[in-house]
A and B are shown apart, each in its own frame.
Chain A
């Protein structure tokens, strides 16, 4: 019974490169959330996706960041032209169904992005 899977676990990029983070939700989960955690900070919501739809991207920076959750395959968080301020831990969470009484979100182990 695999949990939420994220890869890579660690990613090092130089300024200006692209970072691509992948998330596979738990089996049976169709909702994916991305959160960012800066050092000594709590988690900040970035984007909420269902299959092939972005539901809420109000936490995403307006430029360089994008997310998708295709019909097949994992959800992808893409950061173009990375800068040092993008260095953080990026967590993906998944939940089961829309309209469920409890929004239990289960988190993956995270991808720790370091921008040199």
Chain B
């Protein structure tokens, strides 16, 4: 059972364009939604995260949009740069209990062409 579904699997964007990655979740107990960026051979790096009490969070060129009723959230990368080329993972967890394990999507390989 895949609890977090991520799309697209891969994405090619021109420099300066907007990259959009979508995720949908099933478990309504999830209340923390981070995005991670991973470069080849490296560990995932926390990029930005959101909780369901807000519908949008922006940090620099990165924005998370959250739709609680649809159980969907998305990452928008504005003015995409070649240095943004990486694999992006969405994730979710339930912070209400005592276990904060993350459930990840399968990832999106983003390529930004110069």
Contact B101 A109, beta carbon cutoff 8 Å: no
B32 & A106 in contact (Cβ 8 Å cutoff): no
Say how far B101's CB is from chain A's closest CB, in angstroms. 5
- Is the pair B102, A33 in contact by a Cβ cutoff of 8 Å? yes
- Give the interface segment out of A41-49, A61-69, A70-78, A79-87: A41-49
B98 x A98 contact (CB < 8 A)? yes
Known contacts: A42-B106, A43-B89, A43-B104. The answer to whether A56 contacts B99 by CB under 8 A is yes
Q: Which residue of A lies closest to B32 (CB)?
A: A103
Contact in complex: A44, B46 (CB < 8 Å): no
- For the residues of B in contact with A, the DSSP-based class is loop
Contact of A45 among B44, B103, B106 (CB under 8 A): B103
Judge whether A24 is part of the interface by a CB distance below 8 angstroms.
no
Interface size bracket, B side? 20 to 34
CA gap between A59 and B102 in the complex, in Å = 11
Q: Which of A69-116 contact B (CB under 8 A)?
A: 91, 93, 95, 98, 101-110
Q: Mark A33-56, 1 if CB is under 8 A from B, else 0.
A: 101000001111100100000011
- Shortest C-beta distance, A51 to chain B (Å), equals 15
Q: Which residue of B lies closest to A41 (CB)?
A: B106
Considering the complex, give the chain B residue whose CB is closest to the CB of A91: B43
Contacts of A48 in B (CB 8 A): 99-101
Set of chain B residues within 8 Å of A35, measured between Cβ atoms: 102, 104
CB distance from B76 to the nearest CB of A (A): 20
| Chain B 87-114 near chain A by CB (<8 Å), digits 1 or 0 | 0010001010011111111110000000
A-B pairs with lowest CB-CB distance, top 5: A103-B100, A42-B104, A107-B43, A42-B106, A45-B101
25 contacts between A and B (CB under 8 A): A4-B43, A6-B43, A33-B100, A35-B102, A35-B104, A42-B89, A42-B105, A42-B106, A42-B107, A43-B104, A44-B104, A45-B101, A45-B102, A45-B103, A48-B100, A59-B101, A91-B44, A98-B98, A101-B95, A102-B32, A103-B93, A104-B34, A105-B34, A107-B43, A107-B44
Which A residues have a C-beta under 8 Å from some C-beta of B?
4, 6, 31, 33, 35, 41-45, 48, 55-56, 59, 91, 93, 95, 98, 101-110
